[in-house]
Amino acid sequence: MGGLAKFNDDSLADWLSWQESLHSQVIDLELSRVDNVYRSLFPDGVPFKVITVAGTNGKGSTIAFIDNIYQQSDYVVGKFTSPHITKYNERFAIDGINVSDQDICKAFSHIESHRGSISLTYFEFSTLAALVIFTNHNVEIALLEVGLGGRLDSVNIVNPDVSVITNISIDHVDYLGDTRELIGFEKAGIMRPNVTCICGDSNPPESIAKHAKSIGSQVIYVDSPYVGEINMPGEHQRINAAVAIKAIEQLQNNKPVTKIQVSEGVRNASLNGRYQQITINNKSLILDVAHNEAAIAVLAEELRKENTPTIAIFSALKDKNISAMVNQISKIIGKWILVPLDTDRAIPITELENTFSPSDNVTVSNNMELAINQAINSNSYKRIVIFGSFHTVTDAAKVLNI
């Protein structure tokens, strides 16, 4: 129990700080270490049904739909998602309620008692913690969001009862490859023999079907949007809802739900940071975690529905194709306010500024609070959109206290 003597094991902040330095790499895509700890913790596997969700965009929304549908029933449903926006506890929810610090620390201690000399990354610890927490709370259905890729993501230590691939776009090229075929292969790694995979990509790469055939997994492709009442804006959310429903149908013999529960679940589903709208000083303020070219294209499509003068508060991570991201939405944005992010992965603010052309209306703000105040006090713009990274939305949510 190497780290426990160094801090208060009842303090979630201490645990997380320690985990950040435990492993030599922040991202380490290989499963042997975390799988060894998982097998020690769960020699017979986890005691609940599992739906694993991978994809470039739409994972969180799809899980939100599945989660809300099951919440209409009597089943105990657990949800593991990442990253969080304002509080780490957001990563673990049971029946829609985030778990307590005490629950998380208890899980971490249990993991530590089985870890031995194996080092784990921050995300690997969180994945195992989700499984321990769900077991402790007698969860019947667990929804697991893949963090990065699929094949070598720590979530893939668990054999799912249903696998879901929302869509495939270019992102995380340093880890997953620079083509949709390569990325599709990595996402397809969550498939299992004789386990159905639901795919919501409208033009799926061939690598998905090839991998499914090679291992004996059936793929059901969803291309028709959900047509009922829905709370989340955007046509893409109707596809995500349809994918969620098709995933639930695969467990209908074991965990049945009614048509009313499905429609109520879809109608009630919402998710912070996905075209999340608030009003301040008669201005519409939109927060969206869109952080790659495909997601920003969808954001732009939604913004175009109203011809409203728009100011953007924007920042991004250095491993992104920022020029491509900006090009997807630049015609809609009248003014850009760039802000620095407090993370090692952020692009330096001067480098970010240089990705824009001299003709763009760009200013730089020292921090998010100043940027938001500047945008709110700008008389020329009635709509403010904050996007580019989860970190960007996190900083804004803290300033706005939402």
Looking at the structure, do residues 239 and 323 belong to the same domain, yes or no? no
Looking at the structure, do residues 108 and 153 belong to the same domain, yes or no? yes
Indicate if the pLDDT at residue 2 is higher than 70.
no
Tens of pLDDT, residues 70-102:
999 999 999 999 999 999 999 999 999 999 999
The number of distinct structural domains making up the chain is: 2
In angstroms and rounded to an integer, the radius of gyration of the C-alpha atoms of the chain is 21
Q: Which residue, 268, 301, 330, sits at the end of a domain?
A: 268
Q: What is the enclosing helix (H) or strand (E) of 376?
A: helix 368-376
Tens of pLDDT, residues 140-175:
999 999 998 999 999 999 999 999 999 998 877 777
Which CATH number do you get for residue 337? Answer: 3.90.190.20
d(CA 315, CA 364): 10
Q: Which residue, 268, 302, 318, sits at the end of a domain?
A: 268
- For 307, other C-beta atoms within 10 Å of its C-beta total 8
Looking at the structure, do residues 264 and 280 belong to the same domain, yes or no? no
Indicate if the pLDDT at residue 317 is higher than 60.
yes
Looking at the structure, do residues 262 and 308 belong to the same domain, yes or no? no
DSSP conformation class of 401: T
Indicate if the pLDDT at residue 401 is higher than 50.
yes
Q: Which residue, 216, 251, 268, sits at the end of a domain?
A: 268
Structural domain span for residue 394: 276-400
Looking at the structure, do residues 229 and 322 belong to the same domain, yes or no? no
Looking at the structure, do residues 212 and 352 belong to the same domain, yes or no? no
Looking at the structure, do residues 250 and 285 belong to the same domain, yes or no? no
Looking at the structure, do residues 119 and 246 belong to the same domain, yes or no? yes
- For 355, other C-beta atoms within 10 Å of its C-beta total 16
Nearest to 138 by CA among 103, 112, 173: 103
How distant, in Å, are the alpha carbons of 38, 62, 191, 265, 266 from that of 65?
28, 5, 21, 7, 5
Looking at the structure, do residues 89 and 212 belong to the same domain, yes or no? yes
Retrieve residue 88's tokens: 């780490």
pLDDT band (50, 70, 90) for residue 6: low
Looking at the structure, do residues 251 and 312 belong to the same domain, yes or no? no
Indicate if the pLDDT at residue 3 is higher than 60.
no
Mean pLDDT for the chain? 94
Segment 317-327 shows an average pLDDT of 93
Tens of pLDDT, residues 268-284:
999 999 999 999 999 99
Which CATH number do you get for residue 164? Answer: 3.40.1190.10
